[in-house]
Structure 1
Amino acid sequence: MTRQSTPDERRPANDGRRVAARNRAALVGAAREIYAEYGLDAPLSAIARRAGVGQGVLYRHFPDRAAVATAVLDENVRQIEQAAAAPDADIAGVLGVLTWHQTQSAAFISVLHIDGAAGRSGIPEYAAALSGRVERALRAHLPDGHRLATEKDDLMIAVAMVSGAVTGPTREQRERRAVAAWRLLDVEVGPVRPFDDEQRGQPPLD
């Protein structure tokens, strides 16, 4: 008697990898939304629910909170690093990209409040590492004599101060407050937009 294959047996072997990739993408997207709204202290269960998967699936992809946060916030930091690496980059332009990300994510703001103090007691290692990457990207274009270069800690203290001003129910309101905060600090900031807009030839966000 010929044995009939079951649907699972007929499924291509790489289907599992496709499902895993979809689940991971859904989890990162959900985490980005949850963290943007509620910050890094949001429960992982909320992320799993938003992604439409169980918590067991989340933990298969991300063993702990640090792994989830790093996967989400790395994109924010990477855009700032890309802006800093552009041939025509200057401190005002990089600050503009930084400011856009400040208006987008409460989680990113939480990282910037760390003041780049890697290794300080009580600061998660992943958060200190992300903050340090932001600081290095900015310092690469901080000229001697710039207002933010007077004292060693001035740069990231100013970034944290602006982060504290980024409040409001809409991105436009948060951007106005961020730009006003930079102005009060007497610091020039370039167009507030994500770096990818320039790469793709899209107009800046107003």
Structure 2
Amino acid sequence: MTITADTTETAPRRAPRMRTDAARNRERILAAAREMLVEQGPDVPFDDIARRAGVGNATLYRHFPDRHALLRAVLLFVMSRTADTAEAVAARETDPFTALSGFAHAAVDERAAAFCGMFPAGERPEVTPEMYAEYARFQTALEGLMERAREAGRLRPDITQTDFMIAVSQLSRPLPGLECEGADCHRRLDLFLDGLRPRSADSGSGPSNPSS
């Protein structure tokens, strides 16, 4: 009876730590996989992903038994992070255009479009209900950012969400042979963002990238 009681008391104390460790390893694997998929494409070796994540191969395969499972999880991870970013910027920034610009710069850094666009149409991971939910959350947050900027007279009324995301996506995936890294990439994004302002808007406010 005493041993049984001790075992029952010990398990709840250990389980949360193990769950936290597993969640942390999963997050590290997903972050490493996103980076390496953008750098090397969808055929990047699992060994390289595990090495960058700082975990063993067995840990990676325990979370993701095959490449398809990993790609599907990374796509959901990217969608979720992009939605989180849009919501966080909306909550943090009081100036509407600064908020919209901040999201655009963060999206370019995230390289979400580069990841989502690397798969041929027939090889993309299937869209799950979770992906639909995260994409809908992102669309709602982005439209909120754009509507605030429109109402404040800081965004041209003819600019649609599709216009905005296509341009940001192209800046995340430059033409082959053209670099778009660091300050240069953000400078080009600022040139695009400046074109979104109504003609009467103040164009002398300088770069909108918070890190400039």
Q: TM-score, normalised to structure 2's length?
A: 0.59
Deviation at 1:175, TM superposition (A): 0.4
Deviation at 1:103, TM superposition (A): 2.7
Match of 1:159 in 2: 165
CA distance in 2, matches of 1:129, 1:174: 30
1:147-184, Cα deviation, whole Å (9 max, x unpaired): 56547xx2223321232134435211110111112234
Query: Aligned ranges for residues 191-206 of structure 1 at < 5 Å?
Result: 191-192=208-209, 204-206=210-212
Q: How many residues align?
A: 171
CA distance in 2, matches of 1:36, 1:56: 23
CA distance in 2, matches of 1:53, 1:173: 34
53, 70, 90: which one aligns with 1:84? 90
Compare 139-148 and 79-88 and name the one that shifted more: 139-148
CA RMSD of aligned residues (A): 3.8
1:107-160, Cα deviation, whole Å (9 max, x unpaired): x124787xxxxxxxx785266554433321121241368756547xx2223321
Q: 1:125 to 1:31 in 2, by over 3 A?
A: same
Q: Can you give the 5+ residue segments of structure 1 that lack an aligned partner in the other structure?
A: 1-11, 114-121, 193-203
Q: Is the 8 A contact 1:162 1:182 kept in 2?
A: no
Q: Is the 8 A contact 1:112 1:131 kept in 2?
A: no
In terms of fraction of residues, the more helix-rich structure is 2
Residue 135 in structure 1 maps to residue 139 in structure 2 = yes
89, 95, 98: which one aligns with 1:93? 98
Residue 172 in structure 1 maps to residue 176 in structure 2 = no
1:170-204, Cα deviation, whole Å (9 max, x unpaired): 21111011111223444689832xxxxxxxxxxx4
Q: Is the 8 A contact 2:33 2:74 kept in 1?
A: yes
Percent identity, please.
26
Residue 75 in structure 1 maps to residue 109 in structure 2 = no
CA distance in 2, matches of 1:171, 1:42: 26
Q: Can you give the 5+ residue segments of structure 2 that lack an aligned partner in the other structure?
A: 1-12, 118-123
Query: Aligned ranges for residues 111-122 of structure 1 at < 5 Å?
Result: none
Q: Is the 8 A contact 1:77 1:130 kept in 2?
A: yes
1:125 is paired with a residue of what secondary structure?
A: coil
2:211 is paired with a residue of what secondary structure?
A: coil
Deviation at 1:53, TM superposition (A): 3.7
